[in-house]
Amino acid sequence: MDEASRTIGARIREARKSAGLTQEQLAELGGTSTRTVRDIEKGTGTTGLGIVAGVAEVVGLRLTVEG
């Protein structure tokens, strides 16, 4: 994955930890698997943008596009 994916993943991980959530809890709240949350946080895998955005929203983040 690219640098943007790693950056997004790191921010989601920081927000999850600040919220006091485990990866398992975030996965449940985000309607996905623990494995997917793990991949998002590492910036790996092929997770769709909608799922990433949904997980980010659970921890109070919003994805935006800069152009």
Domain extent at residue 50: 3-57
Instruction: Count up the domains in the chain and report the number.
Output: 1
Residue 47 lies in a domain: yes
Position 51 scores a pLDDT of 96
Examine the pLDDT at 23 and tell me if it is beyond 60: yes
Examine the pLDDT at 26 and tell me if it is beyond 70: yes
**Average of per-residue pLDDT values in the chain:** 95
Residue 42 lies in a domain: yes
Supply the CATH number for residue 26's domain: 1.10.260.40
Residue type, 26: L
List, for residues 34-45, the tens digit of each pLDDT value.
Answer: 999 999 999 998
- Single out the residue of 57, 66, 64 nearest to residue 16, CA to CA: 57
The residue count of the chain comes to 67
Contact 61, 54 (CB under 8 A): no
Q: Which helix (H) or strand (E) holds 64?
A: none
Position 65 scores a pLDDT of 85
